[in-house]
Structure 1
Amino acid sequence: MRTIAFNGKFFGAAPTGVHRVAEQLVAATDALIAAHAGGDVDYALVVRDRVNVPRYRNIACIRESRWARRMHRIAWEQCYFPFARRRDFILNLCNLGPLLHRDSATMIHDAQVYSSPDSYSLPFRLWYKFQYFFIGKRHKIIFTVSEFSKRELVRYGIASADKIVVVHNGCDHVFQVRPDETLLAALKLTPERYVLALANTQRHKNIGVLLKAFADPALRDIELVLFGGATRADFESLGHVVPPNARFAGRVSDAQLVGLMQRAGALAFPSLTEGFGLPPLEAMALGCPVIAAPLGALPEVCGDAALYADPFSVPAWRAQILSALDDESARQSLIASGYGQAARFTWQSAARSLVESLRAVTGATR
């Protein structure tokens, strides 16, 4: 019987959007197997650390030896892991994977090391470009998360279009989280009178346009709440002027983020490029209006359920923020259309696309 081995290096690593997607896909695949038991393929999750892993019903968890755990993560992934699982089909969900193992599939979420190089350090760019060159040529399937990302991967020569399979993210995981609204009191926020955005200094996230917009007197009574790792000092060190109505929530838990989204006036997402853009869909699922830049995969993901603003126009962002918060008719229309748009993106559907593609390439019958 054939085994498909998930590369579980993301368990125990610092939380990122890519890691969240990987965890949800493994869980949804496990549920899908439970609904369609049988077939001639096994699934296994291979981890190298003593980390907490969810209890899966149909995916075996394989923990590597103590010797393997002492290896550097790159050496483990590139040398030990493909050797230890040499008879298996390896599935990598976090952009990179073992180059020596041809019987593999890898999910590359975007091509931003090419399209937005200023957002990454030189060593990071070189390592990812080196990996992408060989992964795109050697691995049997390249998964990605949007039609936009697929076009980008083809454009930059990472893989041919016939090798790339699009698996959209889901957003229904937010319904499994009990909201924690304690940050509203801690930050002295008034429900529906604040706008959420990422605290991220990467150039392509384009948070500077929001800082300028919230310096406008027209928005002086609305708070900009930035969640994530970047601090006020990080933005100021890059030359940004942080307005007095900006609040930094820091890193938040899933429960705190859901609590903030449910009571926000809007989520602002001014990115210059995105491979997918999961926070806007999460916000829509929770009844939070979304204002986004019409770039990257955001129009594909948000459809007609978001307001769009020129990413370089401060007046455009000011106007759309006021519309989302103060125009009750527009606000209710956004909330209703957001629910419908978010409902189209489920992890069950994502897992089904993933498994069907794997079945085709591995020859599994079910």
Structure 2
Amino acid sequence: MKKILIDAVSLLSPLTGIGRYTYEVSSRLQKLSTDKYEIFFNYGYHSKELYGLSNNQSTAEQKAKKLQLFIKKFPFFKKISRYIYTYMARFYQTTYDLYFQPSFIPNLNIKTKKLICTVHDFSFKLQPQWHPKERIEYFNENFDLVKKADHIITGSNFTKQEIIDYMQMPQDKISVIYHGVNHGLYKLYPQNELQETKAKFSLPKKFLLFVGSIEPRKNLLTLLKAYNLLANDEKGELPLILVGFKGWENQEIMQEIEKNRDFIRYLGFVSDSELAHIYNLAAVFIYPSLYEGFGLPPLEAMACGTPVIVSDVASLPEVCGDAAFYVEPTDSIDIKNKILAIAKDEKLREELSQKSKAQAALFSWDKAAQEHLKVIESLLETRF
């Protein structure tokens, strides 16, 4: 039985984009390949246990997540830990048939016959100011290691073209595999099933929703500026609710939220089931991101039948199709006008809701995992 190693360090932190992708694909690859491949996960040590969403965490998972949480508090430790993690791989004796790095940069000290890397976007290159300094240093020093991959996976044709442009990689070494939606979770719920979540967070009857990390890349300052152009009675009719992991460089954003706490609330990081309920309860979802290699939250909102406003840039039009209301993300007046237009037009919201559900149905993690498995099989069938 051939051995596959999947890097899973992203599963030691709260699941944002890359962690979500890693978990959803890995959990399905485990089920799809039990009779053909033996799958291991790399957390700095190798294990057959997939960490992530279980409430019954093993002792090993609890310890690993506590250590990761401690390391992330200190940029110096985080930087050093990357190098320790890379170096320690030299001491593992197992040679894997395939090593899959779902988060950009592979560890070339891992002994493997074939290598797959996923490149999600080029924000580190195009907008380095959006990232912590230590991350940019690490990417600048190590990103070229991705070129060692036998194959590259990416989440959109938009990013595939960037890979070709910035890395000069041949097209036949790149596969576009769209991310998915967990349709068992992100779906329409009966109103009675939503009431506990609504009460827990004291959610208003009608509200505008943003979901994503609170950091510069998500363009929240422009969204807040646009929202503040609304009259107070308009804000009162459509309060703004923000949900997501507290990222970095967000002091100014948090100050703006605090100054407008009568109309704007930040709920922080919520559970997956709570998030699905909040999508259902929202009147409108807005995602004015400046740059995305894919963009999961709009698709999750669509699966819940929520009308969606998104930026008209990067991969977002490719993913959202004709099911979204588009804005120019640097134009606060355009954002304000689109918020008002959709908030006041029930017919438009219903039309977008129907289109949203149909668009989201095109994307699933099951399909994504099957496409990943095809890439893996094609490489493992190639003679070493």
* TM-score bracket for this pair, using the shorter chain length: 0.7 to 0.9
Structure 2 contact 312–326 (Cα < 8 Å) conserved? yes
Matched residue type, 1:19: G
Q: CA shift at 1:224, angstroms?
A: 0.6
1:220 corresponds in structure 2 to 235
Q: How does 1:169-184 map to 2 (within 5 A)?
A: 169-173=179-183, 175=185, 181-184=195-198
> In the alignment, which of 158, 165, 169 is matched to residue 148 of structure 1?
158
C-alpha distance in structure 2 between counterparts of 1:112 and 1:50, whole Å: 31
Change (3 A) 1:158 1:15: farther
Change (3 A) 1:112 1:44: same
Q: Deviations over 1:134-178 (max 9, x none)?
A: 12x211111111111112222222744332211110012552799
RMSD: 3.3
TM-score normalized with structure 2 length: 0.80
Q: Deviations over 1:75-115 (max 9, x none)?
A: 33454278433243111112232124562111121111012
Q: Deviations over 1:267-311 (max 9, x none)?
A: 110011101000000000011111000111100110000000111
Change (3 A) 1:165 1:50: closer
C-alpha distance in structure 1 between counterparts of 2:175 and 2:10, whole Å: 22
SS across alignment from 1:85:
coil
Structure 1 contact 174–282 (Cα < 8 Å) conserved? no
1:4 aligns with 2:4: yes
Change (3 A) 1:81 1:257: farther
Matched residue type, 1:184: K
1:304 corresponds in structure 2 to 322
Matched residue type, 1:203: P
SS across alignment from 1:332:
helix
SS across alignment from 1:304:
helix
Change (3 A) 1:324 1:28: farther
SS across alignment from 2:241:
strand
2:56 corresponds in structure 1 to none
C-alpha distance in structure 2 between counterparts of 1:158 and 1:100, whole Å: 24
1:58 corresponds in structure 2 to none
SS across alignment from 2:302:
helix
2:379 corresponds in structure 1 to 361
1:283 aligns with 2:292: no
TM-score normalized with structure 1 length: 0.84
2:22 corresponds in structure 1 to 22
Structure 2 contact 86–109 (Cα < 8 Å) conserved? no
SS across alignment from 2:89:
helix
1:108 corresponds in structure 2 to 119
Matched residue type, 2:8: G
C-alpha distance in structure 2 between counterparts of 1:364 and 1:246, whole Å: 55
1:236 aligns with 2:252: yes
C-alpha distance in structure 2 between counterparts of 1:158 and 1:239, whole Å: 43
Structure 1 contact 4–43 (Cα < 8 Å) conserved? yes
Give the paired residue count.
349
> In the alignment, which of 333, 354, 361 is matched to residue 315 of structure 1?
333
Q: How does 1:16-55 map to 2 (within 5 A)?
A: 16-33=16-33, 38-39=35-36, 41-47=37-43, 48=45, 53=50
Q: CA shift at 1:50, angstroms?
A: 8.7
Q: How does 1:90-105 map to 2 (within 5 A)?
A: 90-101=99-110, 103-105=114-116
1:127 aligns with 2:127: no
Q: Deviations over 1:48-83 (max 9, x none)?
A: 38997369xxxxxxx89x9xx999464334542784
1:118 corresponds in structure 2 to 129
Q: CA shift at 1:183, angstroms?
A: 4.8
Change (3 A) 1:265 1:78: farther
Structure 1 contact 169–345 (Cα < 8 Å) conserved? yes
Structure 2 contact 282–306 (Cα < 8 Å) conserved? yes
Structure 2 contact 102–117 (Cα < 8 Å) conserved? yes
Matched residue type, 1:163: K
1:164 corresponds in structure 2 to 174
Change (3 A) 1:125 1:312: same
Q: How does 1:242-281 map to 2 (within 5 A)?
A: 242-243=259-260, 244-281=262-299
Identity %: 26
Higher helix share goes to which structure?
2
Change (3 A) 1:196 1:85: farther
C-alpha distance in structure 1 between counterparts of 2:122 and 2:300, whole Å: 23
Q: Deviations over 1:223-266 (max 9, x none)?
A: 110112349x9443787575341111111111211111001011
Structure 1 contact 224–247 (Cα < 8 Å) conserved? yes
C-alpha distance in structure 1 between counterparts of 2:168 and 2:133, whole Å: 19
Structure 2 regions of 5+ residues with no counterpart?
Answer: 53-59, 69-79
Q: Deviations over 1:188-246 (max 9, x none)?
A: 3223x211113644322111122112212063221110112349x94437875753411
